[in-house]
Structures are given as C-alpha cells and as structure tokens.
Structure 1
Amino acid sequence: MILFRFFALIFLFFAFHANARVLRVVTDDNYPPYLFLDQGGKPQGYEADLWKLWEKKTGIRVELAATDWASAQKAVLDGRADVIDMIFKTPRRELHYDFSPPYAKLRISIYADSSLAGIQNAATLRGFVVGVEKGDACEEKLQDLGVHDLRLFQGYADMIKAAESNEIRIFCMDEFPAAYYLYRFRKQKQFVRAFNFYQGEFRRAVRKGDRATLEEV
C-alpha cells in the first residue's frame, strides 16, 4: 500500500510539472489579420487563435508575446523566448535560427507615391530613400540587390505616418498589413503598389540548435 502511494505521488509530481511547462512564443505585433493587439494590448488574430488550439491539444501552456519585429527576433536569440512565429527564412537568418516548414505564402510589394513614375523594379529604387520595417526580411532583400538607402521604422504604422508627412515616398511592405494600414490612414489612393517585389513564407523558428523545441511546434 505504501509503495502504491509512493508511485502515485511520483506520477502526480511529473504530471503537474508537465502541465506547468510554458512555451514562450514571440511574434510581430502589427501584422493584421494574422496578429495585432486589441485595445487592451492583448494579441488577436489568426495566429493567436492557432496557438490557443495548440495549447489545448498539447496541454502545454503558451505565453504569446507580441512586440515590434526587431525586438521579437532579439528575444529568441537572447533566450527570452523559445519560438518566433511569422518569420521568413533568409540566408542571414539561417545563421541564427532553425526553421519549420512554411505554412503560409505572402506577397511583399514596393509601394510608392502615385505621383512617382518609373518605379518598376529594384534597380529603379536606387537614388530613393526606401522605408522598411526594422528587422524585416525586405531589408536584407533590398541590400542584396544593391538598394542601400533605407530608412528603418519600428513598425508599419510608423512607416505609413512618415509617408503621410512626406518623409518617405517609397516603402516596402507585406500585402496584408499594407492594405490594412493604407485604408486605416486613408492613404490607399496616394500610395499604390509600384510592383510585386517577392513572395515570402511564414514559418516558425527557434534559436539555432534547439531542434527539440522545433520538432514539438
């Protein structure tokens, strides 16, 4: 009887600690409809719903934090988060992260003031200041194509505000948030898609070498 109670306590101990485990997930806070913050500062959108389902299925509690994109990436590299979601795979990022297979395809475009003519490919961007979200894969892509006069912004909303005040006239942005923010700021007629730049793929990623966590998610 005593032996039975002993093993029962051991089982309860491990069951408790398994359920007490927390997976720290970080992502971008301004990518509607995939993820955005509500008025109370809580993550909402497709990704928030998906992580709730994952939590329910696995029994592992998910701590989902949404912040500016550059800080999100730094959190994983510094060990303050286990997983980063909604990240594109790039050659530079492969040096620091291990990636999941892709789960969504996204179109990234160059947007320009409608009064500008002749903006049709990366070569035609040279000589212009191009707005880019800090930490965005677009920054790496533009630099690889010889476009180096970039102005970095903390988030997409800040970039649209800068365009609104004529601080920049060209910017790189993913299609979904571009549609949202241009409409929100009533600038969809002033700033139009100049050309489709490339196609990205959403993945989940972990700090390089953390294969156990990657296989789990």
Structure 2
Amino acid sequence: MKKLFGLLTVVALGLVLGACSNQQKENSTKSGADKKEVVVGLDDTFVPMGFKDDDGKIVGFDVDLAKAVFKLTNQKVKFQPIDWSMKETELKNGTIDMIWNGYSITPQRQKKVTFTDTYMKNTQVLVVPKSSGIEKASQMKGKVLGAQEGSSGYDTFTKQPEVLKDIVKDGDATLYASFNEAFIDLESKRIDGLLIDKVYAEYYLTKADKLADYTIIELPFDSEDFSVGVRKDDEKLAKQINAGFKKLQENGQFKEISEKWFGQDVTPK
C-alpha cells in the first residue's frame, strides 16, 4: 500500500512539473501581442522609470507609458520585479514578456533580445559628494567606485577603461543589486563615487532634497537609447509597442506622461 501511495505521489508530481514546463514553454513561444495580459520585467527601485512608492505601489514613467501603450490594445499589464542581472534569462524563460525599465540598447543585448524603437535618451554620469572636491573623472584615481550589476553603465565602464576603470581602486567597481543600495554606501562614504544613469541621479537627489550635497559629473561616454526588449523571435510585440509609441506621440499622451515625471517632453527628436 505504501509503495502504491509513493508511486502515485511520484506520478502526480511528474504531471504537475510537466504542466508547469508546458505552460512555461507556451509563455516563451506565444507572442505578447496575442496575450490578454502581458508581463513587464523591471527593477522596482529604478526611479523615476519604475519603482515602489511609499504605499508599495509600482509607479514611474515607464509604468505609465506601458499602461498607455497596452490600453490601446485592451491588454492588461502586470509589472514583475526581477533580479536585474538575470533580466535576459527571465525573458528567455518566458516568466516575463518584455524588459521595460530604462533598458539601454547595447550590442551585447541586441544578440539576446529584439529591441523596440528608442523612446528616450540617457547618459551615464559620475556622482560624488560635493565635500570630496572631485570635479572630474580623472580625480577618481585610487578611489572606490560603485555601479549596478548588469547595468549598461558597468558595460561601458569596462569597454572604455581609460575613463574610470584604469584609474579607480583595484581597477574595478563595487557592484550593487540596486542603485538604492549604492546610494546608501555613497552617503556613508563606503564608496567615493557612483556611476549611474543621469535620469536616476537627478530624480533621486531632487526628491531626497540632496541635490546641493552632490556633484553630478558628465562623462565622455556616448548617450544611450532607452528601449523595450522583447524575446528575439517576438517581432510582433515589438511592432505593436512601436505603433503604440507613435500613437501616444501623435495624441499628446507621451508628452503628458513625460512632463508628469520630468517636467519636460523627453520624446526622442
């Protein structure tokens, strides 16, 4: 009897795992454009693109923009916080339908995902305490630098080593899961500078009323294109999102959302 019960348990477990596997396979092959509900993967600490407010609700520029795009096709949107360093893996596995959270186009990422049209420009900057007296990147020689793991900023840091990598302490950056954690260490002076998206730095320091306490230093890196990343074979969803961008720009909603979060229209010119 015990053997029979054990056998039935194994069979039942196999059926459950098989069903989950089939569901995951379906999610990874079905276009997001054909789903009633799409799942957006994001780092829920990346202000002002997508983050949790004081009530724990996920808000932000990208959140509002995604909702507006999919409202045009009567699709619901679920926002799924993910480990940013695993974003492409989550996308490939079908646990999310797209990466939409200040996601920059890079050659490495283009090998893994299909990108939509650019919807916003961004640059990487160096943030240091004003009390440090640092006013340019070259003054970071021997200093401790922080960066986010899996970020486009860290990718650029490694590809253009002459700017910071060749001069900072240990020839590398201290990596953080989120910029929130990095800012805590910057404020505590456990790191001397932080490589970060300009859009994040300006919003975070302004909201925290600490803009006057820090220096934001422009770096000789190329500007970045923010885009939405979908599965490599899901061009249908990419085209749908692009059509949504165009419609929102035409009817003025894109501008309204931009001015709400940035005080200006950030539509790429």
TM-score interval, normalised by the smaller of the two chains:
0.7 to 0.9
**Percent identity, aligned pairs only?**
24
**Does residue 112 in structure 1 map to residue 135 in structure 2?**
no
**Does residue 127 in structure 1 map to residue 142 in structure 2?**
yes
Q: Which amino acid aligns with 2:186?
A: A
Q: Which amino acid aligns with 1:38?
A: D
TM-score after normalising by structure 1? 0.79
Partner of 2:228: 204
Cα 1:55–1:209 shift into 2, 3 Å:
closer
Cα 1:64–1:197 shift into 2, 3 Å:
farther
Q: CA deviation at 1:69?
A: 2.8
Q: Is the 8 A contact 1:29 1:69 kept in 2?
A: no
| Alignment partners' CA distance in 2, 1:111 and 1:93 | 26
**Does residue 89 in structure 1 map to residue 105 in structure 2?**
yes
| Alignment partners' CA distance in 2, 1:180 and 1:118 | 21
Partner of 2:200: 177
Q: Which amino acid aligns with 1:43?
A: I
Cα 1:25–1:120 shift into 2, 3 Å:
same
User: More displaced, 44-53 or 165-174?
Assistant: 44-53
| Alignment partners' CA distance in 2, 1:141 and 1:59 | 38
Q: Is the 8 A contact 1:55 1:62 kept in 2?
A: yes
More strand by share: 1
Any residues of structure 2 matched to 1:131-150 within 5 Å, and which? 131-146=146-161, 147=165, 148-150=171-173
Q: CA deviation at 1:91?
A: 1.6
**Does residue 151 in structure 1 map to residue 174 in structure 2?**
yes
| Alignment partners' CA distance in 1, 2:80 and 2:157 | 28
Q: 1:162 aligns with which of 176, 179, 185?
A: 185
Partner of 2:24: none
1:55-76 deviations in whole A, cap 9, x for unaligned?
A: 3210222222234532444421
**Structure 1 portions without partners, runs of 5+:** 1-17
Cα 1:20–1:193 shift into 2, 3 Å:
closer
Q: Is the 8 A contact 1:34 1:45 kept in 2?
A: yes
**Displacement over 6 Å in runs of 4+:** none
Cα 1:27–1:161 shift into 2, 3 Å:
same
**Structure 2 portions without partners, runs of 5+:** 1-32, 166-170, 242-269
1:143-184 deviations in whole A, cap 9, x for unaligned?
A: 012214111111111111001111101111112221233345
Partner of 1:60: 75
Q: Is the 8 A contact 1:26 1:83 kept in 2?
A: yes
**Does residue 216 in structure 1 map to residue 240 in structure 2?**
yes
More helix by share: 2
Q: Is the 8 A contact 1:89 1:203 kept in 2?
A: yes
Q: CA RMSD in A?
A: 2.5
Cα 1:20–1:177 shift into 2, 3 Å:
closer
Any residues of structure 2 matched to 1:11-22 within 5 Å, and which? 21-22=36-37
Partner of 1:36: 51
